Amino acid sequence: MPCSRAAFHIAAPFFVFHPEKTRGNAKKTGNPVFPPIDWIMIVKSSEFVTSAVKPEHYPEPVLPEIAFAGRSNVGKSSLINTLVNRKNLVKTSSTPGRTQLVNFFDVNKAFTFVDLPGYGYAKVPKKVQKSWGPMIETYLSTRETLKGVVLLLDIRRVPPGKEEMELMDWFDHFGIPAIIVLTKADKFSKQKMGKQHRLIAEAVNRSKDYLVPFSSKSRLGKEKLWARIDDLLETPEAPG
Ligand SMILES: Nc1nc2c(ncn2[C@@H]2O[C@H](COP(=O)(O)OP(=O)(O)OP(=O)(O)O)[C@@H](O)[C@H]2O)c(=O)[nH]1
Ligand SMILES: [Mg+2]
């Protein structure tokens, strides 16, 4: 039921019940693991809050937070823009290494999206490269309002890189819930996309259903991803 979802309460009235979508998506996915998508997200406001390197520069930990992680140029900033229906809320670039700080964005005054700097781009100066790992790790391990991470993998890359596999182990180890998104799905035909989806699911040892193919160009996967984000936002606080 849409009204029982915690994030619905957090973000109300921004999630709206959408019975036609429920029927359509349930039929299409036949998804036994995740609930059908029974609402659509209405983004009424999205705004840049601040950029930070160290925890003392992070905003006050008040609203629940979702972070976006992935290798440089994988499409993190574009994906956030797509989710919030903005062209340039987050700066994107065809030059990898564009996002070099931890950037915080408020959505609907209800929760925060965090664009993490992309890792693994050799042409960025060594000093900057070296600071990325600690910057990301410090954020992920200390942020008390972090509800989960969206990890972006390029759908063209089979198997995903060593860093991605390490990040997934790291999320598991620290009990950080993660959503895996396969970006740039528009680069393939539907059939090839399905094949890549299957191969990546095998490589990361997850069910196919767990991975969300996504395109910032066609907006494929947008509603499914919002539904997963909502699931993370409704995760209850850890006791103590
Ligand atoms: N075809 C296609 N191109 C995309 C998609 N998403 C992003 N791109 C392109 O990929 C490039 C990098 O996108 P960004 O969103 O800036 O990537 P990023 O992960 O934020 O990169 P860094 O900030 O360097 O870590 C840009 O040229 C985008 O236009 C997509 O879904 N489809
Ligand atoms: Mg970026």
8-state DSSP, 2: G
Judge contact between 232 and 181, C-beta under 8 A: no
Counting ligand 1 atoms within 8 A of each CB, the residue from 78, 150, 181, 212 with the most, and so the one to mutate, is 78
Q: Give me Rg for the CA atoms of the chain.
A: 17
Which helix or strand (DSSP H or E) is residue 15 part of? strand 15-17
Q: Is 151 in the pocket of ligand 1 (CB under 6 A)?
A: no
- Domains of the chain with CATH codes: 19-26+39-233 (3.40.50.300)
pTM equals 0.84
Pairing of the two strands 65-70 and 111-115:
parallel
Judge contact between 194 and 204, C-beta under 8 A: no
- Per-residue pLDDT of 188-238, as tens digits, reads 999 999 999 999 999 999 999 999 999 999 999 999 999 999 999 986 655
Distance of CA 137 to the CA centre of its chain: 16
CB under 8 Å to 26, separation ≥6 — which residues? Answer: 36
- Per-residue pLDDT of 164-192, as tens digits, reads 888 898 888 888 999 999 999 999 999 99
- Per-residue pLDDT of 108-155, as tens digits, reads 999 999 999 887 665 556 666 666 778 888 898 899 999 999 999 999
d(CA 99, ligand 2 centre) in Å = 4
The number of CA neighbours under 13 Å toward the Cβ of 229 is 30
Write 74-77 long-range contacts (CB < 8 A, 24+).
Answer: 74/118, 74/152, 74/153, 74/154, 74/183, 74/184, 75/152, 75/154, 75/183, 75/184, 75/214, 75/216, 76/115, 76/116, 76/118, 76/152, 77/115
Q: Which atom of ligand 1 is nearest to the CA of 72?
A: 25
Compute the average pLDDT of residues 44-73.
93
Q: Is 76 in the pocket of ligand 1 (CB under 6 A)?
A: yes
pLDDT band at 17 (very low <50, low <70, confident <90, very high): very low
Q: Is 160 in the pocket of ligand 1 (CB under 6 A)?
A: no
* Tokens describing residue 130: 């070296």
Q: Which atom of ligand 1 is nearest to the CA of 100?
A: 23
Q: Is 221 in the pocket of ligand 1 (CB under 6 A)?
A: no
Judge contact between 183 and 153, C-beta under 8 A: yes
Counting ligand 1 atoms within 8 A of each CB, the residue from 86, 114, 216, 220 with the most, and so the one to mutate, is 216
